[in-house]
Amino acid sequence: MKTHARAMFGQWSHEWEVDVGHISMWRRLTPPQLFVGSFALLIIFGTVGLEVLPGLYTGPGLSWLDALFTATSAVCVTGLIVVDTATYFTTWGQAFVLLLVQFGGLGIITFTTLIILALGKRLSLRHEVVSTGAAQVSPHVDFRRLTTSILRFTLGLEGIGATLLFLLWVPRFGLRHAAWHAVFQSVSAFCNAGFSTFSNSLIGFRQSAASLLIIAALIILGGIGFLTLEELNLLRTARPTGKNFRLSLHSRLVLVVTAVLLVGGTLAYLAFEWNVTLNTLSAPLRVVNAFFASATARTAGFNSIDYARASDSTNFLTILLMGIGGSPGSTAGGIKTTTVGLIVMLAWARVRGRKDVHAWGRSVPGETLSRAFGLFIVGFAVLTTGIFSLTLSELSVFAHAARVHGQFLAYMFEATSAFNTVGLSLGVTPGLSTAGRWTAILLMFMGRVGPLAFAAAITRSAARRKAAYRYSYEDVVVG
């Protein structure tokens, strides 16, 4: 019986592969188009599911636009909400949103890769390119091992986080509610999504240092990237055996920049909010909440303080941290820690009159530096356009009214949060106009897939044309 079942399954999988192989559109898609298209398909699936599945809402369902907004926010692991996740959705509705968060955090490509590997099939070179870029920066890490490690890291760390939160929250919520809150917050935190089953996010836990530190740890681990996690794991297993294992320049840069941002952000939040939103807490709890704010601001979207009550200096600092975001190959958004690190290293090298950029005994290729700088410029341009569009759609009606005063920062904050898939807000999300909602949707999508990948996906023919010549050089005065 089992042999017959395996034979039938093998025949079905072979026929399915043959059918897929004959789909010419699939074969014509480039890796960027596959990557961007996978997120678009998942958003469409989420939108339709939010509209047609029964039992998702405690009251009336979402409109198509709000369903699209919610699905985009979940798939792009942003966390911006037009309705309260805690009260508007039933437990089944929250579970569906969490499913979108999990798939969006890891990506459809990762899941399809795992399925193909589980079936014992060989991946095509095109699939390897779109699955991971590990070979480019860390050739000693096998990408097949990395792909399976992604699932292991995700489920393992989310499970540990959920267990710890469950043990902390049982006395407060009881067994059933504590379990669901713990699972939801753990998955959302590791995926850097920011969705919460609490109406005020984590403000109610600002005096629970253990809860904030557990969630902050999940956010940080989810934001440093799976390649760095895999290298740290290989380093851990190599040391007891006496084997030499060197962390790649990529992972070292990720860890250093992340540490600097966490420490610097914590000190800045303490300085700005010590006597403002943190004034009712003890000194140790102020440090914990400032550390949590520094961790969550770079792309997670949870909050233990009310940013609407925070100082403008704090909110602008949050905008800067949101702009940087997490690390490549993670569930986080932003222009990434490595991009910022490389730009700072390039500037420092130029100040010192050096042509090459090097660190830890390695030189960074000029092409990588150009790509980092290009990503920064493109990201800045897209974000600036998004801020302009959002303020134009939301503030133009009140152009001559007194209520406009002080609102620009709120919409700049909103646009930055959307593009860098953070999810923090100064409370303007539910009141966005139709145009404002569409602007936020586009910013979330472009921020999740990356502006360069988005551009490559829609300019396929231009990308394929490579010039066989170049023009003569002519210099330009700069500075």
For the chain, domain boundaries: 27-462
pLDDT at 342: 92
pLDDT at 184: 96
CA distance 154 to 165: 16
Nearest by Cα to 329 from 318, 338, 320, 321: 338
Helix, strand, coil distribution of the chain in percent, nearest 5: 70, 0, 30
Q: How many CB atoms lie within 10 A of CB 217?
A: 17
Q: Do 229 and 148 meet the contact criterion of CB atoms below 8 Å apart?
A: no
pLDDT at 246: 81
Q: Do 334 and 383 meet the contact criterion of CB atoms below 8 Å apart?
A: no
**95 CB-side CA count, 13 A:** 9
CA distance 452 to 224: 20
Nearest by Cα to 322 from 201, 443, 206: 443
Could you give phi then psi for residue 358, rounded to 5 degrees?
-140, 155
* DSSP result, 41-81: HHHHHHHHHHHH-TT-BSSS---HHHHHHHHHHHHTT----
Q: Do 157 and 234 meet the contact criterion of CB atoms below 8 Å apart?
A: no
pLDDT at 463: 45
CA distance 422 to 429: 13
Contacts of 169 (CB under 8 A, 6+ apart): 178, 181, 182, 211
How far, CA to CA in Å, does 311 sit from each of 143, 208, 285, 318, 407? 45, 23, 19, 11, 14
Contacts of 259 (CB under 8 A, 6+ apart): none
Which DSSP helix (H) or strand (E) runs through 404?
none
Q: Do 255 and 224 meet the contact criterion of CB atoms below 8 Å apart?
A: yes
Query: C-alpha 129: how far from its chain's center?
Result: 20
Residue type, 296: T
Q: Do 363 and 356 meet the contact criterion of CB atoms below 8 Å apart?
A: yes
Q: Do 145 and 231 meet the contact criterion of CB atoms below 8 Å apart?
A: no
Q: Do 393 and 439 meet the contact criterion of CB atoms below 8 Å apart?
A: yes
One digit per residue, the tens of pLDDT, for the chain of length 479 reads: 444 444 443 444 444 444 444 444 555 666 677 778 888 999 999 999 999 999 999 989 999 999 999 999 999 999 899 999 999 999 999 999 999 999 888 765 565 555 545 545 544 444 444 444 554 555 566 666 667 778 888 889 999 999 999 999 999 999 999 999 999 999 999 999 989 999 999 999 999 999 999 999 999 998 888 888 888 888 888 777 767 778 888 889 999 999 999 999 999 999 999 999 999 999 999 999 999 999 999 888 899 999 988 998 999 999 999 999 888 878 788 888 999 999 999 888 888 888 888 888 888 888 888 888 888 998 899 999 999 999 888 876 555 554 555 688 899 999 999 999 898 999 899 999 999 999 999 999 988 887 777 776 666 544 455 556 778 877 787 76
148 burial type by CB count under 10 A (0-12 exposed, 13-18 middle, 19+ buried): middle
> Which tokens in the block code for residue 123?
């991946």
> Which tokens in the block code for residue 350?
């130029």
First to last CA, the chain: 77
Q: Which residue has the tokens 């300019």?
A: 459
Which DSSP helix (H) or strand (E) runs through 219?
helix 209-223
191 burial type by CB count under 10 A (0-12 exposed, 13-18 middle, 19+ buried): buried
CA distance 475 to 348: 23
> Which tokens in the block code for residue 79?
């966390």
Bridge partners, residue 363, by sequence: 358
